[in-house]
Every structure is written in structure tokens, then in C-alpha cells.
Amino acid sequence: MSTETAPLAPQRKRSPNLAHDLVDHLTQQIRLGYLKPGDKLPSESAIVREHKVSRTVVREAISKLQAAGWVETHHGVGSFVLERQEPHGLRLNVETALSVRDLLELRLGLETQAAALAARRRSDEHLKQMRAALDEYRSLLANNDSCVAADQRFHLLIAEATGNAYFSEILLHLGSSMIPRTRVPGAERGDADLAQLGQLASLEHEAILTAIRRQDPDAARAAMWTHLSNSRERFSRE
């Protein structure tokens, strides 16, 4: 079981399709790694209490997650998150085929637009989760712990806030390899240098979040461009 704390359930307006809202929330928890492959979903009664919906709504939502390949249910035991297969149409071998420079050039094109769309479409719940991801990033950095997962989560949350699933799918396919320092051999940089680079990235993250909070697409696009361009300069060895 994952030990990470899942985000609070979003405070949604009553919707004519509560099952769809519940599917969206549980899918986001899986996409962002709060629920990992093999994890058991909360019990039906727990979901009813947390989301204030009927058992019928919960069962419909679980059925939709099963049909989409997100979970499988063992009767009498519970529903478990499945390992997702890579989409057949996307065949990038990100572990070996793409250099740091290549990945960042791809992300420059993708994530600058994602940041602009997120600034227009983000919800208060998106902002709350982005803030939590950056707070975790800073805490881990201060303790000299790996902040790769928090870094990745922040970028995935921006992709989620676009409301366009293709942004999330591509970043999820890239996985942790999207974070440049996971691709640079330790021999090429020391711990002190990495900590300093992490601090610079933290300041850039804050600028992105500020622009998204202000709902300023141009500023969000520029802040993301600055962050990824600086990352390219910091980590590219080519």
C-alpha cells in the first residue's frame, strides 16, 4: 500500500453525473501516484462518506474505472489499481533514446502551452494541490532528500489543470525521466551543486504557480519557458 497522503476530495458543486465526477477524482489520484498499481481503493462505505454520494454512484464509478482499465475488482476483497499499459500509439523509449536536451526541447513545446491553458482553466483545488507539491519539494530539498517525485507531481498537476488528457498522458509516459537530474550521472555533478540547482528550480516553480494563480496565461507561459530553458542550460551536456 502507498503511504503517501492523498489529496483532499475536491469540493464540487452537485452534478447531474456524480459518478463521472467520482471517476475523475479517483483517476487523478491514480495518475498523480497517490494510488499506485497494486493499491486497494478505499472501501465502498469510505467513498460514500468522503464524497457524500450513494452506493449506487460508487458502484457505477468503479464499473467505469474497470472498463477503462484503471482497476480490477475481486468480489469480497475489494478493487485494486492496475498497472497501465503504454498507449500503442506512443512508442518513445525515454530511458535510452532521448537525451536531456531532447526531453527538455519536447517539454518546452508541450508544457509552455499547458501552463497557459492551466492558468485559464485551473480550479481552487488544482491550486491547493500545486501548493502542496511545491511545499513538499521545498521540505525535501531542505533535508537533502530526493524531491523528484514532488517535482514531477507539480508538472503533472499543471497538465491535469488544462482539462486536456493528452497533456497528462504524454507526461505520464515520460515518467520520472522528465526530470533532468534523474538523467545526469552523479559523476557529472556534486551534491552541493545539485542542491543549488534545486533551489533555483524552486524559485522558478513559484513564479509558474503565481502566474497560474493570477490566471495570467501569458505570464504562465513565459514562466514555464524560463524554467525549462534554464533547466536545459543547467543540465544539458551536449
Residue-wise pLDDT tens digits, 48-70? 999 899 999 999 989 888 888 88
Residue 169, Cα to own-chain centre: how many angstroms? 10
Looking at the structure, tell me whether residues 104 and 218 fall in a common domain.
yes
What pLDDT is recorded for position 194? 66
What pLDDT is recorded for position 173? 77
| 232 C-beta neighbours (distance < 10 Å), count | 17
Give CA–CA dist 105/52, Å, rounded.
44
What pLDDT is recorded for position 178? 67
| 195 C-beta neighbours (distance < 10 Å), count | 12
pTM recorded for the entire structure: 0.64
Cell of 50: 468522503
Looking at the structure, tell me whether residues 72 and 141 fall in a common domain.
no
| 192 C-beta neighbours (distance < 10 Å), count | 9
What pLDDT is recorded for position 145? 85
Domain containing 56: what range?
18-81
Q: Is the pLDDT of residue 12 over 50?
A: no
CA angle 202, 136, 112 (to 5 degrees): 45
What pLDDT is recorded for position 229? 93
In this prediction, residue 31 has a pLDDT band, given cuts at 50, 70 and 90, of confident
DSSP 3-state of 23? helix
Looking at the structure, tell me whether residues 121 and 201 fall in a common domain.
yes
Where does the chain show beta strands of DSSP type E? 71-74, 78-81
pLDDT tens digits for 64-98?
888 888 899 888 889 999 886 654 445 555 444 45
Residue 123 within a domain: yes
What pLDDT is recorded for position 176? 62
In the chain, how many domains are there? 2
| Residue closest to 167 by CA, chosen among 228, 225, 112 | 112
CATH of the domain at 140: 1.20.120.530
Residue 1 within a domain: no
In this prediction, residue 211 has a pLDDT band, given cuts at 50, 70 and 90, of very high
In this prediction, residue 46 has a pLDDT band, given cuts at 50, 70 and 90, of very high
What pLDDT is recorded for position 233? 84
| Residue closest to 181 by CA, chosen among 161, 202, 166, 162 | 202
Looking at the structure, tell me whether residues 124 and 218 fall in a common domain.
yes
pLDDT tens digits for 172-187?
877 766 666 554 444 3
Mean pLDDT for all residues in the chain = 81
Looking at the structure, tell me whether residues 114 and 179 fall in a common domain.
yes
Cell of 69: 482499465
CA dihedral 197, 131, 221, 195 (to 10 degrees): 0
Instruction: Give the domain-ending residue among 81, 109, 134.
Output: 81
CA dihedral 80, 85, 89, 90 (to 10 degrees): 110
Q: Is the pLDDT of residue 104 over 50?
A: yes
